[in-house]
Chains A and B, each alone.
Chain A
Amino acid sequence: MAQRLENYLRTFRKRTGLSQREVALLLGCSNGAKVSRYERFARRPTLATALVCEKLFGVPVAEIFAGIEDEASEALRQRVCLLAEQLEKQPSNAVARKRQFLDALRSRNAPHATK
């Protein structure tokens, strides 16, 4: 899988023709420096900022912050494996349901191709 950038904020901002200062105003930041830091991957936005970005550019958060999404998906995949291993040690009816859920989760979060 090709490694995606941490975020594509700069790409989407440039497509709209907005400046960093204008995007900062829309995101509720005091000036463009914060937007510049997001674009240089020097700072990660808060959840509220990420959601505003989604509304602003009309693109899902997972697409704007693709690299972070990849990172989170990989971390989740590892934790799912860990939990599945723990569940194997305690077989019961309730565990079978949990395993089913984890299998569905695994197939849902299978690594996807580069966008």
Chain B
Amino acid sequence: MRLMEDNGRYLAVHPTTYGLGFAVLERDLRLIDWGAYRARADKNQTSLRFLERLTRRFQPCAVLIETRERRERQRSVRIQHFIDSVRTSARQQGIVLKGISHRKVRRFFEAQGAMTKQEIALCIAELLPELLHYLPPRRKAWMPEHGHMGTFDAIALALTHFNADENIFHDRIQPRP
């Protein structure tokens, strides 16, 4: 599977504790598919298989995934292994993999006035109204993270990448007061 052709379609993936959140976007900010995949047994293997199905179906020109910068927040060992195996699998299959650091995503959304994950999700839902139904409720300290937050994290990666590439948001996202 060779996905080097630039068709303007990107697959953003955000591994989570239950599986992964994903989003397929085109460069003109058209959201093609999105969702949260809940892996049951052997989370890494099944998530990887799911990812392969997505790349086969949507033929993205690149897969976007979170990378870690030095001194950045730690992800669980399983998720670190998952990111490594995605990298290995992409290299073997000739898929372009672009890593975007968590810090970069935060910096981009801070410039839009969104500091917390909830605010980032809200900012994304304002930009892509079809996601309004998926907006998770405000999380209380004792609540686990909502399944759909992974989807918003994946979209945040893609938006950060597009912005770094072409700075297309200056008239789309209005900075919050």
- A-side residues, CB < 8 A to B, are 2-3, 5, 8, 10-11, 14-15, 17, 40-41, 114-115
Closest chain B residue to A8, Cβ basis = B32
Q: How far is the CA of A114 from the CA of B30 in the complex (A)?
A: 11
* Shortest CB distance A50–B (Å): 19
When each residue 1-28 of chain B gets 1 if its CB lies under 8 Å from chain A and 0 otherwise, what string results? 0000111110000000000000000101
* B51 at the A interface (CB under 8 A): no
Q: Which residues of A contact B5 (CB under 8 A)?
A: 3
Is B170 engaged at the interface, CB distance under 8 Å to the other chain?
Answer: no
The answer to whether A17 touches B133, judged by C-beta atoms less than 8 angstroms apart, is yes
The residue of chain A having its C-beta at the shortest distance from the C-beta of B133 within the complex is: A17
Q: From B34, B57, B58, give the contact of A14 (CB < 8 A).
A: B34
Interface residue total, chain B, C-beta cutoff 8 A: 17
Give Cα A15–Cα B5 distance, bound, in whole angstroms: 28
Chain B interface, DSSP helix/strand/loop, else mixed: mixed
The number of A-B residue pairs with CB atoms under 8 Å apart is: 30
Q: Classify the interface of chain A: helix, strand, loop or mixed.
A: loop
Q: Do the beta carbons of A5 and B28 come within 8 Å of each other?
A: no
Known: A2-B8, A5-B58. A115 touches B28 (CB 8 A): yes
A17 to B34, CA, bound (A): 12
Is there an interface contact between B26 and A114, defined as CB atoms closer than 8 Å? yes
User: What's the least CB distance linking A12 to chain B, in Å?
Assistant: 10
Q: In the complex, how many angstroms separate the beta carbon of A88 from the nearest chain B beta carbon?
A: 35
Chain A residues whose CB sits within 8 angstroms of the CB of B28 once the complex forms: 114-115
**Contact call B26/A10, Cβ cutoff below 8 A:** no
Residue of B nearest to A42 (CB): B57
Cβ A10 vs Cβ B8 within 8 A:
no
Contacting pair B57 A2 (CB below 8 A): no
Q: Do B30 and A14 touch across chains, with their CB atoms under 8 A apart?
A: no
Cβ of B26: which chain A residues have Cβ within 8 Å of it?
2, 114
Task: Report the minimum CB–CB distance from A11 to chain B (whole Å).
Answer: 5
Taken together as a complex, chains A and B put the C-alpha atoms of A14 and B128 apart, in Å, by 13
CB neighbors of A among B65-92 (8 A): none
Check if A2 sits within 8 Å of B130, measured CB to CB. no
Residues on A with beta carbons closer than 8 Å to the beta carbon of B58: 5
Pick the contact of A115: B7, B30, B33 (CB < 8 A).
Answer: B30
